[in-house]
Amino acid sequence: MTSENDVRQALSSVIDPEIGRPITDLNMVDSITIENDGTVHVTILLTVAGCPMQNTIKNDAIQALEALDGVKNVNVTMGAMNDEQREALKEKLQGPSRTIPFTLPNNLTRVIAVTSGKGGVGKSTVTANLAVTLAKKGMKVGVVDADIYGFSIPRILGVNDPATALNNMIIPPIAHGVKVISIGMFVPDNTPVVWRGPMLHRALEQFFSDVYWGDLDVLLLDLPPGTGDIALSCAQLIPKSEVLIVTTPQQAASEVAARAGQLAEQTGQRVIGVIENMSHYIMPDGSKNYLFGQGGGGIVSHELSIHLGYNVPVLGNIPIETDIREGGDSGTPLTVQDTQTPAQHVFDNIAKQLHQRSQSLVGKNLPLHT
């Protein structure tokens, strides 16, 4: 006869899609009853009532239990945790103190701030496509839309589900395998955000400390253009973060991009590379049309390498493609699509360079407290 231990073991394969942990580890299995005729009754408690993932969890649980020998029928009842149970889960995930996990000595998450000197260079599009590409390579990836005033990541990544509040902890939605948080998830009907510096800093601090990110390999920060409050706050809140510069070929963009890179010297961050977006347009005959000029990325790379005293390489030159724009508008980034375009190959090559690290976090449970 099937035992309660057998049932729990089977349910340990059921993963909460939002938190990324087995429901047994999260104390979501409330009760198990096994009848002599092989009927198994299980009650699973959702973190919040009306969780959008409840059907997925229920179906996965039924499938796992039906595979057990001796089980004839399965009855899964979905409930919801009470305040005390939610608080216990929050403490288990984040610990008793409110900290930014990426600043802890044993945390191995690579934090990369994607920035630019001026707006309109496609920084958010580059961030989204890189995040998806890294996730496709098996890495655990998160994106913080730190452009509080000009948030656009939810649209580009096609985030449809809201963030889930678990007491004072936020569970970020997942799109195309990437965990995402943005102020756009908390303001109605595309309402503009009208905040001064201290409010911006507080919002970023909450994104880093109150959001349950889990064991990420890479966290990408989509910063606003320029060298203002948010860039300084990110450097202050996560001192070990690195900087990735996005520019376009023309001189007006490259000059201010180099200025944004020089800020890293003052904040103690390392610039890991430059990406030239909208580099060229590939004509039907295969030739390249340099609509915005040539060499902007190389100029930024050269200036920063001299100024900072170490090599700042050009990681890639992304061509102009209609699919990039259409993918961002529809919420299906180019790198999600089942095509093979020149831009996809560039994104893939950039991701390979960023993918190189001494140790992967996949499979590790670093932030999960016992």
The CATH number of domain 4-81 is 3.30.300.130: yes
CA distance 254 to 300: 6
Between the two ends of the chain, the Cα-to-Cα distance in Å is 32
pLDDT of residue 15: 93
11 half-sphere exposure, CB direction, 13 A CA radius: 28
CATH annotation of 101-355: 3.40.50.300
C-alpha–C-alpha distance, residues 40 and 331, integer Å: 41
**What phi and psi values does residue 53 have, to the nearest 5 degrees?**
-95, 10
Strand 39-46 and strand 178-182: the pairing is unpaired
Give the C-alpha separation, 26 to 88, whole Å: 10
E strands within 102-210?
Answer: 110-115, 141-145, 164-166, 169-171, 174-175, 178-182
Helix (H) or strand (E) holding 306: helix 296-308
**β-strands 39-46, 242-247 pairing:** unpaired
Q: Kindly tell me the burial class for residue 196, based on how many C-beta atoms sit within 10 Å of its own C-beta (0-12, 13-18, 19 or more).
A: exposed
Residue 46 confidence (pLDDT) = 92
Asked whether 191 and 183 are in contact (CB, 8 A), the reply is: no
Distance, in Å, from the CA atom of 157 to the CA atom of 331, rounded to the nearest integer, reads 5
List, by residue range, all CATH 3.30.300.130 domains of the chain: 4-81
Question: Could you give the residue range(s) of every CATH 3.40.50.300 domain in the chain?
Answer: 101-355
Whose structure tokens read 């999960």?
368
Beta-strand ranges (E) seen in the chain are: 29-34, 39-46, 73-80, 110-115, 141-145, 164-166, 169-171, 174-175, 178-182, 218-222, 242-247, 270-276, 281-282, 288-289, 314-317
CA distance 74 to 313: 57
Cα 234 from Cα 196, distance rounded (Å): 16
**Which CA distances in Å does 41 have to 16, 46, 142?**
19, 16, 36
Would you state the pLDDT for residue 97? 64
The answer to whether residues 244 and 114 touch, using CB atoms and an 8 Å cutoff, is yes
Largest CA distance in the chain: 77
How many other C-beta atoms lie within 10 A of the C-beta of residue 56? Answer: 15
The reported pLDDT for the residue numbered 357 is 53
Residue 327's pLDDT is 94
Cβ(103)–Cβ(238) under 8 Å?
yes
- Residue 106 CB neighbour total at 10 angstroms: 7
Helix (H) or strand (E) segment spanning residue 222:
strand 218-222
- pLDDT given at position 139: 94
Residue 31 CA to residue 53 CA, distance in Å, equals: 20
Tens-place pLDDT, residues 76-104:
999 999 989 988 888 888 776 678 889 98
- Give pLDDT, residue 18: 85
Parts of the chain with a pLDDT under 70: 96-97, 357-370
